[in-house]
Amino acid sequence: MWSEGDVVVVRYVEPWGPISGFPVRVLRDDEDGIVLYLAPRSEVAWPYVDGRLVRDATLERRYTTEWSPGPHRWDDGWLLFVFPAGRAYGLWFFFGPDGTFGRWYVNLQAPYRRTPIGFDTRDHTLDLWTYPDGSHEWKDEDELAVAVRYGHHTAEDAAAFRAEGERVLAEWPFPTGWEVWRPDPSWPVPSLPDGWDRV
């Protein structure tokens, strides 16, 4: 296991290779899961299609071509990854530049695996927003349908992703306690090591 303060790389990996990479600092790594911190203005790797960010490609184009990682600077807020061990979801906590936290992003994804440089997972396309008042919103249901149509995920997998989201809603693991966490401003901003995408 990693120790608190270690710098590692979280990668989202497709069958053809990594599509994104985040240089993060370990806040916790134990049998319950991992908590990782991405500093504001980190240089990350983000998925590209046809030489531009994947979000600028049509849904059809996204699922008929292989994505590759390209440069992207994280914005002025920070991000926490809270990934429970063995579960097919990870929480992304988006904080504003002033430390404002508003809602939770439930990224449905493969249970994380350990690598020599950190952790790998695979994105499951479908996501959820959950709110402090107990409400929720599914995100990218249309994108998951397109992903299934083009064979990126099977219909059975898509049903399992949805079921994991329903399970999170039933469990409602919010708040987690990490909502009020604040980074040490003296920490340097980590960067991706050379070869991070070839491990």
Q: What is the rounded end-to-end Cα distance, in angstroms, of the chain?
A: 18
Q: In the complex with Mg ion, which residue's Cβ is closer, 145 or 189?
A: 145
- CB neighbours of residue 3 within 10 Å: 7
The nearest distance, CB 127 to Mg ion, in angstroms, is 4
Comparison of 29 and 127: residue with beta carbon closer to Mg ion: 127
Stretch that binds Mg ion, among 13-21, 77-85, 120-128, 146-154 (CB under 5 A): 120-128
Residue 152 gets which letter from DSSP?
S
Residues present in the chain in total: 199
Nearest distance from C-beta of residue 1 to Mg ion, angstroms: 26
The DSSP H or E segment spanning 11 is strand 7-14
Strand partners, 130: 104, 136
Question: CA angle at residue 98 from 93 to 99, to 5 degrees?
Answer: 30
Stretch that binds Mg ion, among 45-53, 73-81, 121-129, 182-190 (CB under 5 A): 121-129
Does residue 123 belong to the site contacting Mg ion (CB under 5 A)?
yes
Nearest to 34 by CA among 97, 69, 101, 80: 80
- Stretch of 42-50, 86-94, 102-110, 164-172 contacting Mg ion, by CB under 5 A: 102-110
Residues in binding contact with Mg ion, number by CB under 5 A = 3
Q: How far is the CB of 167 from Mg ion (least distance, A)?
A: 16
107 contributes a contact to Mg ion by CB under 5 A: yes
Query: Which of 107/130 has CB closer to Mg ion?
Result: 107
Whether 31 and 87 have beta carbons less than 8 Å apart is answered as: no
127 near Mg ion, judged by CB under 5 A: yes
Integer Cα distance of 90 and 83 in angstroms: 4
Which is nearer to Mg ion, 42 or 107 (by Cβ)? 107
Residues that bind Mg ion (CB under 5 A): 107, 123, 127
